[in-house]
Amino acid sequence: MSQKYKARGIILKGSSIKENDRLVTILTPEYGLIRAVAPGAKKHKSSLRGRTQLFVINDLLIIRGKSLDKLIQADTVYTYPGLSKDLGKLASAQYLAELALSLAVDEQPQPELYELLNEHLRRIESCDRNESIYPYLSQAVFHLTAIAGLSPQVFNCYLTQTEIEPNMTTFAWEVGFSFEGGGILDLQAFQAARAKDRTNRDEDLEARYNNRLPKINYRLGGLELDLLQQLNRNGLPSLENYSDTDLEIAWIRVERILREYIQYHTGKTIRSANLVDNLYVEF
């Protein structure tokens, strides 16, 4: 890469550095994550001031530095004005920004992540304020983790690899979900495997450790599994046979499961999620 280079990118993070400078983290399709100093960006008359705010997309001219690059020019090509006008939407966008930052790689092309993040930011910006935000967040998390190779297994039991279909007729039917195991599991298969494990007391400690069963973190009902299995589609699931309250409760659980799942696998907390919960959860 030459000393001076161009890129198009979206500002995902910013902080003050020195008196008038701003340190920004930018997601670009060409180079993945870029961290650069925007000199004088905190000055009121600086051309970089508004262009280095969160979720602004710019065509950038950057100089390569020894430790940090330097942003010397930014021409805005797109903004998300609807996000800053609504605290709930802004918090949801920050949630996705944190997720993207945890999944992105420095100085490697990330075109799919870049395009998909912007697609879901547009969906959040355009959603009705009376709509639940949790379906949008759930699908965004699922899509973003899928292109990073971290999406959970939601169609087959990770123990037996047999397909599991949502059971909507049996009362209290449930399926397990394990972060460590990487997805859903048949609870009967899990109980059988655990019973077998208890009988193998003659195994040495190393073998028993290698064969140990992952922890079940959640138990899902039929509706929750149905929602999970439809998240890989382009659009949101359309379910008309459930009350708004039942759907909202299910979506909140699905989002929480996916959030905790990706936090488990990345080792990074999505801090904005707490603000989203405070703004949207009513029961």
Residues 70-94 as b or e (16 or more Cβ within 10 Å = b): ebeebeeeebbebbeebebbbbbbb
Distance CA 81, CA 270 (A): 23
How far CA 236 is from CA of 75, 138, 166, 228, in Å, comes to 34, 10, 18, 11
Structure tokens at 164: 């599991």
Strand order in the sheet with 218-220: 183-185, 175-178, 218-220
Can you tell me the distance from the alpha carbon of 283 to that of 243, in angstroms, rounded to the nearest whole number? 15
C-alpha span between 135 and 99 (Å, rounded): 16
What's the confidence (pLDDT) of residue 193?
82
Per-residue confidence (pLDDT) for residue 27, from 0 to 100? 98
pLDDT tens-place string over residues 140-189: 999 999 999 999 999 999 999 999 999 989 989 999 999 999 999 999 98
Tell me which fold the domain 1-79 belongs to: OB fold (Dihydrolipoamide Acetyltransferase, E2P) (2.40.50)
Identify the pLDDT of residue 272: 96
Q: Which residue type does 157 have?
A: C
For the whole model, what pTM was predicted? 0.90
Residue 200: predicted pLDDT = 58
For residues 122 and 199, what is the distance between their CA atoms, to the nearest angstrom? 54
The series of mean pLDDT values per 10 residues for the chain, 283 residues long, is 87 92 96 95 90 97 92 97 95 98 93 98 94 96 97 95 94 95 94 72 48 88 97 90 92 98 97 94 61
End-to-end Cα distance, the chain: 53
Q: Is the dihedral of CA 31, 34, 37, 39 positive or negative?
A: positive
- For position 147, what pLDDT does the model report? 95
